[in-house]
A and B are shown apart, each in its own frame.
Chain A
């Protein structure tokens, strides 16, 4: 009776957790409910963990050692996880997500290894069970290795490297995964050797899969690996007949896939194009474009005058703003100009920065009022009435080549049409290229003036100059 009660309570908790996951995801897609949604899902997760600890029948003979290790693991994971998540800078959020995603993938892979070891002891080689173990191991390991490479790339520790014949090697590895995995699942007496071979190939594939993809495409890759880990978790659910793991995993798997596609759509590219086409390849073609005219500089004083006497100013932020940590400084400039009666807004490109929504999060940190952030379509509609457009550390998202030059690697991506405004000021550290590695003819535009220097220092100068007017 007691056992029945415990089992029922466990299942009820799992159902409740599944509901919070669904509600959480749903709420995460609407701006005012998102935070609550995240908390709901977190409560659900806590409930599922506590219920498992309380009601799941342990193996007969399991000692307190098992419980001590579980609690120690939970404690260590919580301490490190919280510390990392609280300490991480706003600019480093994307790689943090990738890192945590990799941890989930590794967890799924380790589960498969332990279960395989378990099967080796009991000798019960069931086809279904072995398929689940093999697939869980493959997906988990690929997700782990890929996420760590993505993390390294965004941290700047790993550069973009095109491996000669990379695509062929990847296809061969993929075939090897299917063959070895299939062999492992169907053979009557599998060996640990084979399992570790499968682990090795999976890790290698994960690394080589992400390695050639350009840093600018990392968000899409992280989102894709995120859905991979979801599927790996679902396979764990299969393994234990656990509905919470199954629903949670599959939900993330499918929602993550759709999210990946949405991100690609925002950049007007296909997923296949992101994975196969390497962004870096465009550099040579664009460089061949040659001399495009001369760049005109502007002094901070002139720029300040231009801004202070404008009716409407629009800021196009990019990754440079994030790197310079200039979100508070620009907010200060914004307040100063608003006081002077300037109509001020931010034009946010959907993929500005290193992740969709990156700029929104960054500016939100500096308390920039939400209505000031205009999405690309609205910003473009008002561009002709804008006196000054201030491009801060953004490059590819304002590159007219995306509209005009079919040979450009970013051709077809919608851009913020800065050149429609009456004046353009581009703040940049140097004439270096953007993440796509291509020239930007906007910098050579008649209406454009360059203000070179670190974004934060330059904005600071503008603030001083505006105050002195």
Chain B
């Protein structure tokens, strides 16, 4: 019990941030038209690629003699980059088409 309370107390700022972010996320997209469902999903997909930061931190903190951490960390960086770059480029391609159409 004490352990759980300590956990809560030590992370109270994070818990606060999470709750506010949840409401913010709901608020921000609540008025999206059906047309934009796919690009929005794709854009959100790219944003959670922020997990790449974690992969970079792993690599920065990995002991150069710990090959398991280095190899896995390297893969994590590749996977995370795929998510970020692929995600943003695909979204941009989808949205480019909306743009072209507006010009005409």
Contact = CB atoms under 8 A, between A and B. Distances in A.
Q: Do A and B bind each other?
A: yes
Interface of A: 17, 21-22, 24-26, 28-32, 34-35, 37-39, 41-42, 45, 48-49, 52-53, 56-59, 61-63, 65-66, 69-70, 72-74, 76-78, 80-82, 84-86, 88, 90, 93-94, 96-97, 99-101, 103-104, 106-108, 110-111, 113-115, 117-118, 121, 127-128, 219, 222-223, 226-227, 229-230, 232-234, 236-256, 258-259, 262-263, 266, 348, 350, 355-358, 360-361, 364-365, 367-370, 373, 375
Given A111-B54, A247-B17, A41 B88 contact: yes
Contact of A356 (B31, B37, B68, B72): B37
A101 B82 CA distance: 9
Contacts of A233: 48-51, 54
Contact of B44 (A77, A85, A226, A350): A226
Contacts of A82: 85-86, 89
Given A65-B64, A233-B54, 5 more contacts: A66-B62, A85-B89, A110-B76, A117-B68, A237-B50
Contacts of A62: 60-64
Nearest to B43: A28
Q: Sorted from nearest, which 5 A-B pairs have the closest CB atoms?
A: A77-B81, A73-B77, A254-B25, A364-B97, A81-B85
Contacts of B45: 97, 100-101, 104, 226, 229, 252
A52 B38 contact: no
B90 A96 contact: yes
A97 B41 contact: yes
B73 to A, nearest CB: 6
B54 to A, nearest CB: 4
Contacts of B88: 38, 41-42, 45
B38 A361 contact: yes
Given A73-B81, A80-B82, A248 B47 contact: yes
